[in-house]
A and B are shown apart, each in its own frame.
Chain A
Amino acid sequence: MTNGPLIQCAQLVVDSEEGGNAEHPLNLQASAASIISIIGPDHDSKTNWIETLGGIMPAESGQLFLAGKEISQFEKDDWVRTRTQFAYVHAHTTILSAANAVQNLMLPAMYHKTGEASEIRAKAEKLLEDIDAGDNLEQLPAHLKKEQRYKIAVARALMLEPKALLLKSPFTALELSSVGQFKQFLLNQVRENNLLLILATHDIKFALEYSDQIIYISEQQLLQFDKNHRIQDCDDPEVRDYLSI
């Protein structure tokens, strides 16, 4: 347990072979109950950065601390704990095809023995209701809509009550009509569960409106903004062009 930043990095440089901007290091402190958006025109760079910050991709250089511990010092158990505390979901994350929605949600909690089966089932059903996963959830995933499968994947990641949720392209799998409700669900999770939410997103409006920090990444540069140093006030022509302001 740590009361400091959940994610902290110093002079972190991503692996250039995986694509993206490798020349510009990142210094970041990300605390609970906050939102960080990674935006920019280069999709590969955003993917590379969010996966590196989540401890999924190895960094080329620099230091990354997850829950207060530098990842080069991680033992095997630390990695398991990290994966339960720093959940990562992308638009194409697949759920188990041989299990229905509730069973999919129950699996990680049952595996990690977080409680009794009846409690876990109740929690799974509540999460599916909160996230508005839709009808026919007793069906196998192949019979569900893409949006439902995505919401189930996000709900499954939240079953372990992670400290941080990292979402890549969080709204692309959703139908336009349910994007608003899903955003509200994420905001509730941040407020009520002190969740650190990190998004690699194209949704500039959401990023501008709700983010505590914004990381802008392109092939040329990596810029960081927060509420005191707003991206809307940035003079860089590339950024202004990207924001269409």
Chain B
Amino acid sequence: MKTNSLTAILTGLPGRFLIQTSLYIINLTTFSALALRDWYSNNRIFNKKSYSSMVAQIIFTGIDALPTITFLGLAAGFVFTFRLISILDSIGAADETVNLLVNIICLGIGPFLAAIILISRTGSAIVVDIGNMKLHGEIEGLEMLGININNYLIAPRLIGTAISQLAITVYFTFIALVFGITLSGLMVSGSHFELLYEIGTAFTPFLVMVFVIKNLLFGYVIAATSCYSGLSIRTSPTEVPQQATRAIVNSLVAVFIIEGLLAVALL
């Protein structure tokens, strides 16, 4: 009897996990799509309050994060760019340097690190912000005034975070590349300065498109996950940290999955 119930539990676990994950993905997709639909059907463009809400999100996510991004860009320039150039030089594969820098720094590490910064900084802030608004009845108060929450709170965060992710990745990647190459030019060989020009020309329209889509997708998914978790908070303040943790974990998993899927698609 005990063996049967243990077997049932063990075989049931993957099934329950699959069902819960599938439902979560469906709910999240529907939720974010409805938010964008409401925004699009109500305004086409933002009204003043929704627009200022989006600008506030960009300022918080993008501009306020600049010191952190700068520091991490410099660190990545040293840890990844400089070392990559040095290693490729030492094994005689300098011809591949530009190709690898574009693929690893610009399309790989840059968006990924920017996404992690966004998840830890903006994602958790969105959950706490929306969660506390929900908990204290502020959202209900807005709805009582005929204010569409999707239009006023959710869509600006989705769009603002997506734009910010793209912007901070451009900034991060630029610093990581320029600093790493400059360091390499100064410490290893002056010829490495030419890499700056070569990387600029290596960016084909297709790569630019992949770069933009990937970053917008990262930002959108991070914001959607965080908003969804924030609105999932119901009655207790203890739900706020729980949902913040949930949003961080789910966003990380989503970013890994998108990263993997895009890597496979671009093979």
Which residues of A come within 8 Å of B, CB atoms?
56, 79-84, 87-89, 92-97, 107-108, 110-113, 117, 153, 156-157, 160
A153–B136 Cα distance when bound, in Å, is: 14
A157–B143 Cα distance when bound, in Å, is: 11
Residues of chain B with a CB closer than 8 A to A80's CB: 146, 148
A117–B51 Cα distance when bound, in Å, is: 14
Interface size class of B (residues with CB under 8 A): 10 to 19
Is the pair B49, A96 in contact by a Cβ cutoff of 8 Å?
Answer: no
Is the pair A88, B144 in contact by a Cβ cutoff of 8 Å?
Answer: yes
A163 → chain B, closest Cβ, in Å?
A: 13
B117 → chain A, closest Cβ, in Å?
A: 23
Report if B198 contacts A (CB, 8 A): no
A108–B47 Cα distance when bound, in Å, is: 11
A108 → chain B, closest Cβ, in Å?
A: 4
A97–B145 Cα distance when bound, in Å, is: 16
Within 8 A of A (CB), among B189-228: none
Is the pair B138, A110 in contact by a Cβ cutoff of 8 Å?
Answer: no
Is the pair A108, B145 in contact by a Cβ cutoff of 8 Å?
Answer: yes
Residues of chain A with a CB closer than 8 A to B25's CB: none
Interface of B is mostly: helix
Report if B152 contacts A (CB, 8 A): yes
B194 → chain A, closest Cβ, in Å?
A: 50
Is the pair B146, A81 in contact by a Cβ cutoff of 8 Å?
Answer: yes
A82 → chain B, closest Cβ, in Å?
A: 8
Residues of chain B with a CB closer than 8 A to A89's CB: 144
A160–B137 Cα distance when bound, in Å, is: 20
The count of A-to-B residue pairs whose CB atoms sit within 8 angstroms is 62
Contact A93:B48 (CB < 8 A) given known A83-B143, A83-B144, A108-B146:
no
Is the pair A94, B47 in contact by a Cβ cutoff of 8 Å?
Answer: no
Is the pair B146, A94 in contact by a Cβ cutoff of 8 Å?
Answer: no
A218–B138 Cα distance when bound, in Å, is: 31
Q: Which of A83, A84, A96, A160 contacts B138 (CB 8 A)?
A: A96
What are 11 sample pairs from A and B whose C-beta atoms fall under 8 A apart?
A80-B148, A81-B146, A82-B146, A84-B146, A93-B144, A95-B141, A97-B138, A107-B147, A108-B145, A111-B47, A157-B145
Residues of chain B with a CB closer than 8 A to A111's CB: 47-50, 145, 147, 152
Residues of chain A with a CB closer than 8 A to B147's CB: 107-108, 111
Contact A160:B141 (CB < 8 A) given known A111-B152, A113-B47:
no
Within 8 A of A (CB), among B120-166: 132-133, 136-138, 140-148, 152
Is the pair A83, B145 in contact by a Cβ cutoff of 8 Å?
Answer: yes
Chain A, Cβ-Cβ closest to B140? A94
Chain A, Cβ-Cβ closest to B148? A80
Is the pair A93, B141 in contact by a Cβ cutoff of 8 Å?
Answer: yes
Is the pair A92, B137 in contact by a Cβ cutoff of 8 Å?
Answer: yes
Quick one: which of A56, A82, A95, A111 has the most chain B CB within 10 A? A111
Residues of chain A with a CB closer than 8 A to B133's CB: 96-97
Q: Which of A84, A94, A160 contacts B136 (CB 8 A)?
A: A94
Residues of chain B with a CB closer than 8 A to A117's CB: 48
A97–B139 Cα distance when bound, in Å, is: 11
Chain B, Cβ-Cβ closest to A111? B49
Contact A160:B145 (CB < 8 A) given known A93-B137, A107-B49, A110-B48:
yes
A82–B144 Cα distance when bound, in Å, is: 9
A113 → chain B, closest Cβ, in Å?
A: 6
Residues of chain A with a CB closer than 8 A to B140's CB: 94
Residues of chain A with a CB closer than 8 A to B138's CB: 94-97
Contact A94:B145 (CB < 8 A) given known A110-B48, A111-B152, A113-B47:
no
Is the pair A87, B141 in contact by a Cβ cutoff of 8 Å?
Answer: no
Q: Which of B132, B141, B145 contacts A84 (CB 8 A)?
A: B145
Residues of chain A with a CB closer than 8 A to B48's CB: 110-111, 113, 117
A56–B152 Cα distance when bound, in Å, is: 21
Chain A, Cβ-Cβ closest to B48? A110
Chain B, Cβ-Cβ closest to A93? B141
Residues of chain B with a CB closer than 8 A to A96's CB: 133, 138, 141-142
